[in-house]
Structure 1
Amino acid sequence: MGTHTRRRIDADERRARLAVRHRLAPSARASSAEEVAGSLVALHATDPASVFLAVAARLAGEQGEAGPVAGLERALYEDRTLTRMHGMRHTLFVFPTTLVPAVHASTTRDVAARERTMLLKDLRKGSEYDEAWLIETERQVLAELTARGEATGAELGRAVPRLRAQYLYGVGTRQEGPQSLSSRLLRVLGMEGRIARGRPLGAWTSSQFRWAPTPRQPDPSDEDAHAELVRQWLAACGPATEADLKWWTGWKVTDVRKALAAVGAEPVDLAEGTGHVLPDDLDPVGADPGPWAALLPGLDPTAMGWQYRDWYTDPAHKAALFDRSGNIGPTVWWNGRVVGGWAQRPDGEIAVRFLSGVGGAEARAAVGAEAARLRGWLGDVRVTPRFRTPLERELAGGPKGGTAA
């Protein structure tokens, strides 16, 4: 009886997979925002600009040169093929709408239940309002939204005075102080899938969104939801470890293991230990994707895809590229490695700094071309990351060793 030898996948092969599956190599770029989101499973949306920058970096030809704004806004606000909602780790993402039921059932629903419980607890401690009052307030808000089609929180507050009610938050703590019900209740309703974020006020970089009613979709079973999300994620990010998946989803390790078993995930050897791939994903990757460069935004889903990042980011560069909470800033990539950072200066120029050797003139020319492409479609728009990192701050402020494109 033969001995089964576990497949080993090295860093070079992982970087080749990333180039194609994350739509970063020129030959693998996408034709639409929906293709990008589907390939990555989720786009980080805590910073609204990151969604657009992440899509733009992965669009082919004229699509990439023109930028992602029109296509992404159509997908989000007209066709509704993409949905902005809270998901893994209590974080705001943009998902393919077809994946929303699985995300809600596996992840968001439990977080929403905790948020509602905490809101009711705070109301009871810091006001005279009770659960019956809150339910009636919700009914009025949902009725107003249905009649209007969409509205901002301020517009809803004027139409539904209850939404402007205040309560004492953090009773008995150093954080004690008055807080308005509006933003917190709308957040809970959004996490419950009863309302959704619509168009922002102002430009695409704005974080002030209108709200709209959303039809409730039936949730799959917990087991099916966990399995579907893991299946999608492994297709995009496999191989990866249990620790990577636990970090990315925010699930308990028991839920991670059940989901991996449900999809029939195969163990493989990685430099950091045991990884997992889908059962039909054991074969080596195909043709070499060729050299590629990319300028990815802060919180990009590729840079934030794994907990263990040494195979694509030099640990020596962590202090420059990450903030104190672990959020990654804008990064420069060459052939599957983070080799530097970038920032937009007040005059619109894209400043780049390399933190490690990048293969000479070919790499620098390719990075320069990507910087010029980004500068071209941004035009007069100025983008400042919500979570600023040391290198981004330095580059945004002036030359100091950075090169402008």
Structure 2
Amino acid sequence: MGDTRTRTIDAAERRARLGVRHRLAGSARAGSAEEVAGALVALHGTDPASVFLAVGARLAGNDGPVADVERALYEDRSLVRMHGMRHTVFVLPAALAPAVQASTTDPAAARERATLIRHLAAGSDFDAAWLAETERLVLAELAVRGEATGAELGGAVPALRSTYLYGKGTRQEGVQSVASRVLRLLGMEGRIVRGRPQGTWTSSRFRWARPAGPGAGPPSPLDPAAARAELMLRWLRACGPATEADLKWWTGWKVTDVRGALAAVGALPVTLDEGTGFVLPDDLDPVTERATETGPWAALLPALDPTAMGWQARDWYLDPEHRAALYDRSGNIGPTVWWDGRIVGGWAQRPDGEIVHRLLTDVGAAAGHAIGAEAERLAGWVGDVRVTPRFRTPLERELGA
């Protein structure tokens, strides 16, 4: 019989994998926004600025990511912004959109539609037929206009300005607008998409449009199980090893769906500090810092960066004593400073534009110099734009004051 012992992957090896696969180590940096998104599977898009900052931290050179990300999102449409895992907005490769839609977004959209109809029935005279007609009018208006903001659509489609009573008889009782929920639902179903925002690349005031370009329209339907397997394959390639709990948290799937996808891709168990993890069957070879041929690396990553938010269990790259300074009360991470696979501090931008950081761990003079160089690189391409995270954390607030 062959050796049946489970391979052990320790924290140091996981950090070595992270530097190369997440395009953070110097020689592993990427040449385009598409390359970054593909390497990370998906970029958190709840805070629009985070997408640009996450790409900028991983691109080779000092020119910054703004033109490249805008080209990919709004001209080539090789990247798409859509609801995905955990009911969160992500920016991801267009080729992956059908798998995310079928594995994750479609079930969430069905729940969202049922919930909205129930809320409308309880708090207004509106019903499913009224909702369907309102959606038809919105789509017709966008077909004429090409793109429009929510406010512009509300001016053209009076039904969008309607309100309903939410949570009647409860502590949450209040009047809510129909517009935001209708537009979000249409977006989740892939019937409309977020276009170029008003203002700078940090703006969240998106214009809405009908899908355009190759494959326009909602992503072609896939078998949900096959879609989950495709997403699992991509995620383990980028982020493995991971525990079942990590995978359930990141995807938002039921544990039975996680296990089905692991089986479909032939994932193999490995031993991690926190228990059993999983890797793809061709990903068992040791990865060491020397094997990466990159050397130590520094990075300033934004709030909600996909590397910092990739796993539920984070002690292998984050000192638990630093959690209170770097996370908000809802578990959203703020801007972080990394040295060779570990979070070692945080950063912020002050009102005058200065990028400042604070180290929470003693990393030595050479590391401090490399981190300072990354701060200068970031400041160079951000320029006059001011970036304030949507979810502010204690250390970011203090540094940015």
User: Shorter-chain TM-score: which interval?
Assistant: over 0.9
Comparing 116-125 and 282-291, the one that deviates more: 282-291
Report the identity percentage.
Answer: 74
- Deviations along 1:338-384, one digit per CA (max 9) or x if unpaired, are 001111111111111110121x1110110000000001111111111
For residue 41 of structure 1, what is the aligned residue in structure 2?
41
Q: Cα deviation per residue 1:133-163 (whole Å; 9 max; x = unaligned)?
A: 1111111111111121111111111111111
2:297 is aligned to 292
What amino acid sits opposite 2:19 in the alignment?
Answer: A
Q: CA deviation at 1:4?
A: 1.2
The answer for the alignment partner of 1:203 in structure 2 is: 200
| Aligned equivalents of 2:66, 2:153: Cα separation in 1 | 27
Q: How far is the alpha carbon of 1:174 from its aligned partner? A: 2.0
Letter in 1 for 2:29: R
Tell me how far apart the structure 1 counterparts of residues 69 and 3 of structure 2 sit (CA, whole Å).
50
- Whether 1:72 and 2:76 are equivalent positions in the alignment is no
Q: Indicate the SS of the match to 1:294.
A: strand
Structure 1 residue aligned with 2:310: 305
- For structure 2, the residue ranges without an aligned partner over 5 or more in a row are 212-216
- CA RMSD across the alignment: 0.9
Aligned to 1:223: 225
In the TM superposition, what whole-angstrom CA distance separates every residue of 1:34-83 from its partner, at most 9, and x where no partner exists? 0000000010111111110000000002xxx1211111011111111111
CA distance in 1, matches of 2:154, 2:374: 44
Do 1:87 and 1:108's aligned partners in 2 also have CA atoms closer than 8 Å?
yes
Shift of 1:165: 1.5
CA–CA distance in structure 1, aligned partners of residues 218 and 80 of structure 2: 13
Per the alignment, residue 373 of structure 1 pairs with 377
Q: Are the aligned partners of 1:244 and 1:307 in contact in 2 as well (CA < 8 Å)?
A: yes
Q: Give 1:101-180 correspondences, 5 Å limit.
A: 101-180=98-177
- How many pairs does the alignment contain? 393
Confirm or deny that 1:393 pairs with 2:400.
no
Q: CA deviation at 1:171?
A: 1.4
In structure 2, the residue matched to 1:189 is 186
In the TM superposition, what is the alpha-carbon distance from 1:239 to its structure 2 partner?
A: 0.5
On the 8 A contact 2:36/2:58 being kept in 1, the answer is yes
Tell whether 2:86 aligns with 1:82. no
Q: For 2:294 and 2:136, how far apart are their aligned partners in 1?
A: 54
TM-score by length of 2: 0.97
Residue of structure 2 aligned with 1:339, choices 327, 341, 344: 344
Per-residue CA deviations over 1:306-340 (Å, capped at 9, x if unaligned) read 00000000001011111111111110000000001
**Is the Cα–Cα contact under 8 Å of residues 101 and 219 in structure 2 kept in the other structure?**
no
Contact 1:16 1:289 in 2 (8 A): no
8 Å CA contact retained: 2:326, 2:333: yes
Q: CA deviation at 1:100?
A: 0.6
Aligned partner of 1:52 in structure 2 is: 52
Q: Which runs of 5+ in 1 are unaligned?
A: 398-405
Tell me by how many angstroms 1:254 deviates: 0.6
Q: Which whole-Å CA distance do the structure 2 matches of 1:142 and 1:84 have between them?
A: 19
Q: Is the 8 A contact 1:86 1:191 kept in 2?
A: yes
Q: Which moved more, 1:331-340 or 1:349-358?
A: 349-358
